[in-house]
Structure 1
Amino acid sequence: MQTDSLETYIRERLQQRKVLLMTHAVVGYPSLEANWQMLEIMQEAGVDLVELQMPFSEPIADGPLFVKANEEALRNGIRWQDYFGLLRRASDTFDFPVLMMGYVNTAFRMGYAAFCERLRDSGGSGFIIPDLPVEEFGELWKPSEKHHLSPIMLCTPTSTDKRLQEICEHANGFVYCVARKGVTGKTTELDVGVTEFLQRCRKLTSVPLGLGFGLSQPEHLKTLHGHVEVAIVGSALLRSWEAGGAEQYRTHLMLLAEARG
């Protein structure tokens, strides 16, 4: 599905559960066919949002597992056309909004206006570009607004109050709060530091908060009840796929979905 207002969609879904679940897939890894099977399981589990990652040769915000996934997707010959084709098909078929996740080089090479137009035409509802800081968005603002796309801002516990305020002022859809500094994939302990970080963010914005980078267990989602609106799980689910294929992936995802409350 495609939505003109990601925040409105999130607010409406929160009437049914205590926290939403956003999942992740790298397009082309292990194959487009496997991606589709993952998406079907996400639909079966009632996942709330999905980010589809466009593979890139230097995924600097990703840990070893996703780096490998990006490299193998590129070796599989995944092109922009394949990516947007899968996004279009997913948006037409499933009940969750799909966000593009990728790196700024991709949008820059396409041209920001063309990138936003292509993303919207392919059924995307927004984008996450982790290597593009808010002060460098520049020419991306207008086309994203024109095409009703939500540019998702990222912030970290090391962000200064001034920087957090700037990020939150530009926030659209939700703010992606990084649970720890560094790359994705390591286990995150939801400790006092994370709680304090979320409180800092909450004071600066009224838009929903999402928490990611390292969430893996149902207990993590339960701990987030009342603290954030969106729990983001990526690496842990891909590890389940690699360990036991679709069956283990489904089991893990169903447990996460149940933990939303």
Structure 2
Amino acid sequence: MDLAKELKNRLKTKPILLMTHLVLGYPSLAVNREVIRQMTTNGVDCIELQIPFSEPIADGPVILKANQQSLESGISVEECFSFGQEMAAAFPQVRFLFMTYYNIVFKYGEEAFLHRTKAIGFCGTIVPDLPPEEGQSYLATSKELGLAPVQFFTPTSTDERMRAVAAQGAGFVYCVARRGVTGKQTAFDHTLDQYLSRCRQATDLPLAVGFGISSREDVALLTGKADMAVIGTATIKLVDAQGPEAVGPFIAGLLAGD
């Protein structure tokens, strides 16, 4: 499965795609299961399932707390694989990816981790703390297996760096909307427009924009400038405040009026 090609096909009938994120085991796998059901039945295209890690350096306080509480409850990598396999089988219309940090991959065994990811029906991985220069075996094994090793652009990336990074990845490029960690509100201004224009010029891969995307207005402002909006912290906050049943209407509302 060529993820980039599939996403481009989906864009023929949708103005923008949605990718959501949740932390496995927070607050429980049972709640994760219901949240994913709500997401998949309301138009989400991709879901990144985060395997919890004790030091998630790219994540803000909401996702950090979710990682810590999931680990305290005893979630294991094996449970994450089993749950992921169940979700990929139950919701074949959605593309699932694992998001985690390289320590998890390294401890499990890089080849074993990637082979298992492929075997359970996932289409790729997102490992934010592994630059391509340090991940050549990870990149090569991913591509051999047909998995997308998603790479990152940041606002501080030079045009040359963007082209070099994109050439190493597959599936789509995750464009970090601003400096810092996840969860803070992103300013949708001329600076962001210029950045996304640079991203577009650097690669033919679809562009997914995340960090601080939380409303229908945010998604509307990204439409036409990016291919996929990434919603993470907003849904975790929503589940904490209102329960998993609030997720479906929220997701449906993100695309309302488009």
**Normalising by structure 2, what TM-score?**
0.97
Structure 1 stretch displaced more, 21-30 or 130-139: 130-139
Aligned to 2:252: 254
Shift of 1:96: 0.1
Aligned partner of 1:219 among 217, 220, 226: 217
Shift of 1:216: 0.2
User: Secondary structure, in 3 states, of the residue corresponding to 1:232?
Assistant: strand
Deviations 1:95-153 (A, max 9, x none): 20100000000111122111110111111100000111121112112210121100000
Q: Distance in 2 between matches of 1:123 and 1:78?
A: 21
User: Secondary structure, in 3 states, of the residue corresponding to 1:116?
Assistant: helix
CA-based RMSD of the aligned residues comes to: 1.1
What pairs with 1:75-90 in structure 2 (closer than 5 Å)?
A: 75-90=72-87
Q: Distance in 2 between matches of 1:144 and 1:60?
A: 23
Q: Distance in 2 between matches of 1:211 and 1:199?
A: 12
Q: Distance in 2 between matches of 1:237 and 1:125?
A: 22
Aligned partner of 2:62 among 62, 65, 87: 65
- Mapped pair 1:51 → 2:27: no
User: Secondary structure, in 3 states, of the residue corresponding to 2:237?
Assistant: helix
Q: Distance in 2 between matches of 1:65 and 1:132?
A: 22
Shift of 1:155: 1.2
User: Secondary structure, in 3 states, of the residue corresponding to 1:258?
Assistant: coil
- Mapped pair 1:109 → 2:107: yes
Amino acid at match of 2:80: Y
- Mapped pair 1:37 → 2:34: yes
Aligned partner of 1:228 among 221, 226, 229: 226
What pairs with 1:236-247 in structure 2 (closer than 5 Å)?
A: 236-247=234-245
Q: Distance in 1 between matches of 2:63 and 2:51?
A: 11
Deviations 1:3-54 (A, max 9, x none): x211111011111111000001100000000000001001110211100000
Amino acid at match of 2:11: L
What pairs with 1:153-172 in structure 2 (closer than 5 Å)?
A: 153-172=151-170
User: Secondary structure, in 3 states, of the residue corresponding to 2:68?
Assistant: helix
Shift of 1:250: 2.4
**Normalising by structure 1, what TM-score?**
0.96
Shift of 1:224: 1.1
- Mapped pair 1:191 → 2:216: no
User: Secondary structure, in 3 states, of the residue corresponding to 1:38?
Assistant: helix
Amino acid at match of 1:103: Y
Q: Distance in 2 between matches of 1:246 and 1:115?
A: 29
Once superposed, which parts of structure 1, at least 4 consecutive aligned residues long, lie more than 3 Å away?
A: none
Aligned to 2:13: 16
Shift of 1:257: 3.6
Deviations 1:82-107 (A, max 9, x none): 10011101110102010000000011
CA contact (8 A) 2:182 2:212 kept: yes
CA 1:30–1:116: 2 relative to 1, 3 Å:
same
Aligned partner of 1:96 among 94, 97, 112: 94
Unpaired runs of 5+ in structure 2? none
Unpaired runs of 5+ in structure 1? none
Aligned to 2:125: 127
Amino acid at match of 2:237: R
Q: Percent identity?
A: 40
CA contact (8 A) 2:38 2:245 kept: no
CA contact (8 A) 1:45 1:257 kept: no
